[in-house]
Amino acid sequence: MDELQAFAQQIFASQPFSQFIGAQLLDSGPGYAEMSIPIVDQLKQQHGFVHGGVISYLADNSITFAGGLALGGTALTSEFKINYLKPAIGSHLIARARAIGTGKRQAVCQCEIYVVQDGQEKLCAIAQGTVVPATV
């Protein structure tokens, strides 16, 4: 594991909500992040689909990691938009985010969220967001 991946794993491990929801950081690199969440009953809404808030969390966190890694440090989401394309029914979700434009003060990122059903990935949402360096 290289230094950037180790940094990303350390940040991810320090997120209580990510641990609570069962999320995993599968892969990361400069301007890239891939995350997953197993689909369990507690994450579904009344129709049996994954709740939109869970999908939104996955998009937001993936975008923030991709942008933060592109900017070279810790980051925050400044804004993001999500489009839900189809209900998520399956075994787990996968989000793949990448920085598509990076400057000194921000990174614009795109994310595709897939639901895995019977071993096949199906695109269920897309998101785009802006990430800025964290100043606490």
Quick check: 129 pLDDT over 70?
A: yes
Residue 4 has a pLDDT of 78
Which residue intervals of 51-101 are DSSP H helices? 52-71
Q: Taking residues 32-56, report their average pLDDT.
A: 96
Domain ranges of the chain: 3-133
CA-nearest of 40, 47, 50, 46 to 20 is: 40
Residue 136 has a pLDDT of 58
CA-nearest of 86, 87, 90 to 118 is: 90
Q: Taking residues 110-132, report their average pLDDT.
A: 97
* CA separation for the pair 92, 9 (Å, rounded): 20
* CA separation for the pair 35, 11 (Å, rounded): 13
CATH number, domain 3-133: 3.10.129.10
